[in-house]
Amino acid sequence: MTEARDTEARAILAQNDRGGYTVPTHGLYPYQWNWDSVFAAIGFAEHDMDRAWTEIETLFSGQWENGMVPHIIFHQVDPSYFPGPDIWRGTGPIPSSGISQPPIAATFVRWLLDLDPTYEPRARTLFPALMASHRWFMTWRNEDGAIVVTHPWETGRDNCPDWDDTFAAIEPEGVDEYYRRDTTHVVEDERPRRWDYDRYLYLVKLGADSGWSEPYLREVTPFRVADPTMTFTLLRATRDLRALAIRLGEPTAELDQWIGDMERGAQRLWNEEAQTYDCVDIRSGKHTGVVSNASFLCWFAGINDDRMLAQFDRIAEATTYFVPSTDPAHPAYEPKRYWRGPVWAMLNVLIAAGLAEAGHSERARNLTEATGRMIAENGFAEYFDPRDGAPAGGRNFTWTAAVWLAWASPTTGGTPWARSS
Ligand code: GLC
């Protein structure tokens, strides 16, 4: 059974390969997405190390002059996706979106290199590009060490309830008539609402009209939210970049400074009342009060906070498959709607790695096994219903196949960190 899934997973990576990069899935997402590609690389690493490196190199070929690595790179225009390059009007070397995504590349470049040190020359070539992308975050998205986003899509958690209050204060004026394509691929109940889309497009227009000027957006955008996905993945990736720097004989002073800043900044995300890490709206100063799967990335970031264990155990107890993207006890929880409830396997690998590293090995093992069962029984869906594991969203998904091969499969998996040691 699981070996058949291994074969299927490799076939999905091959089918979604467009030559040097993969699409997340055919139809729904026909371009290269930033963190999807990094996950794809760890899937390829299971059977084709050269292809794994190429995936990340192709991603960085879209890096902007200011260091930003876009969240979507439009290598070849495909009308089945909206909003496309004409709406985004990115200013990089390849048509792209104008925002980034959780910066996990340095973490997995380090991991690839641990698996096979003969690839060091390719890590050396990527190193300055990785530094530039971290520097972009620390220059433009750093609010006292907490990392902010200027669009929900930047966190990769598109419609989670964390954005609801900030969005309610936005009147999406001036957005042209548009026609969504996502709901031609997936049923509407599993996708964001129209209300959210109006605001997504409002923010895209605001950025595009400014020529994606970060200094301008920092002043004017109504959406500037510090987020655990960004803060925790960037803190983790900066630690990994530091390890790479030492390995490659590069200086570390700037990295040390960033790590210290973010260790302090991460504490800004601690919500004492809700006893969780959550988002903070920089404009209003308010915490969002949502326990999300991103809240549990604290351990991945190297923040060994036992206060989150009680939240983790409560939520694991309340669901058959965990970690749900939104706390089932939250009033906005919807078990099938995208980031408002479903389980995302690729977030689970990061949470499990963090748990294992912090010494919570039984919880890490339980999460690994539950994710493995969920995929073995339901296939390579984009996300899953926490109540019964029912597949939802897109199918034949690259990152679900990739994290199966690298981690959740009982035959080929194991935690990436355990495998590399
Ligand atoms: C959705 C997800 C995002 C992902 C993208 C492509 O926008 O929310 O995290 O990168 O799809 O799979």
What are the domain boundaries of the chain? 2-68+100-161+225-408
Which residue minimizes the CA distance to atom 9 of ligand 1? 156
**Which burial class, exposed, middle or buried, applies to 311 when counting CB atoms under 10 A from its CB (0-12, 13-18, 19+)?**
middle
**Count helices and strands in the chain by DSSP H and E runs:** 17, 10
Q: Ligand 1 atom 12: the closest Cα is on which residue? A: 24
Element at 73 (helix H, strand E)? strand 72-73
pLDDT at 105: 98
Residue 292, strand partner residues: 326
Query: 411: Cβ–Cβ under 8 A, 6 or more apart, which residues?
Result: 2, 3, 6
Taking the centre of ligand 1 as the mean of its atom positions, its distance from the CA of residue 33, in whole angstroms, is 7
pLDDT at 414: 83
Nearest to 131 by CA among 103, 154, 155, 112: 103
Residues 6 or more apart whose Cβ sits within 8 Å of residue 257: none
* C-alpha 158 to ligand 1 mean position (Å): 7
CA distance 364 to 344: 16
Q: Among 21, 153, 157, name the best residue to mutate to test ligand 1's pocket (greatest count of ligand atoms within 8 A of Cβ).
A: 153
**Which residue type does 390 have?**
A
> Residues enclosing ligand 1, CB less than 6 A?
24, 29, 33, 35-36, 153, 156, 158
**Cβ partners under 8 Å of residue 314, min gap 6:** none
Ligand 1 atom with minimal separation from the 158 CA: 8
Identity of the amino acid at 325: S
Q: Where are the alpha helices (DSSP H) in 340-397?
A: 345-357, 361-378
Q: How many CB atoms lie within 10 A of CB 246?
A: 12
* Residues 6+ away with beta carbon under 8 Å from 139: 67, 214
Q: What is the pLDDT of residues 147-181, one digit of tens each?
A: 999 999 999 999 999 999 999 999 999 999 999 99
Q: In the numeric block, which tokens belong to residue 8?
A: 């299927």
The pLDDT assigned to 421 comes to: 42
Phi, psi of 280 (to 5 degrees): -130, 125
Average pLDDT per consecutive 10 residues, the chain (421 residues; last block may be shorter):
94 98 97 98 97 99 98 95 97 98 98 96 98 98 98 98 98 94 92 96 98 98 98 98 98 98 98 98 98 98 96 98 98 98 98 96 96 98 98 98 97 72 42
Q: What is the pLDDT of residue 418?
A: 58
- Looking from the CA of residue 397, the nearest atom of ligand 1 is 12
In the reported structure, the alpha carbon of residue 134 is separated from the centroid of ligand 1 by a whole-number distance in angstroms of 21
Instruction: State which ligand 1 atom lies nearest to the alpha carbon of 35.
Output: 10
Q: Checking phi first, is residue 41 left (phi over 0); if not, alpha (psi -120 to 50) or beta?
A: alpha
The pLDDT score that the predictor gives to residue 32 is 98
Question: How are beta strands 142-143 and 270-271 bridged, if at all?
Answer: unpaired
**d(C-alpha 5, C-alpha 402), whole Å:** 11
Per residue in 275-314, pLDDT (tens digit) is 999 999 999 999 999 999 999 999 999 999 999 999 999 9
Q: Which fold has domain 2-68+100-161+225-408?
A: Glycosyltransferase (1.50.10)
**118 CB-near residues (< 8 Å, 6+ apart):** none
Q: What is the dihedral sign for C-alpha 320, 308, 383, 110? A: negative
Q: What is the DSSP string of 205-273?
A: HHHHHTTS-HHHHHHH-S--EE-HHHHHHHHHHHHHHHHHHHHHT---HHHHHHHHHHHHHHGGGEETT
Mutation probe of ligand 1 site: the residue of 23, 29, 293 with most atoms within 8 A of C-beta:
29
Please identify every residue annotated as catalytic. Answer: 158, 382
**What is the whole-number distance in angstroms between the Cα of residue 186 and the centre of ligand 1?**
14
* pLDDT score recorded for residue 144: 98
Peptide bond into 38 cis (omega under 30): no
The pLDDT score that the predictor gives to residue 419 is 53
Contact (CB, 8 A) for 28 and 394: yes
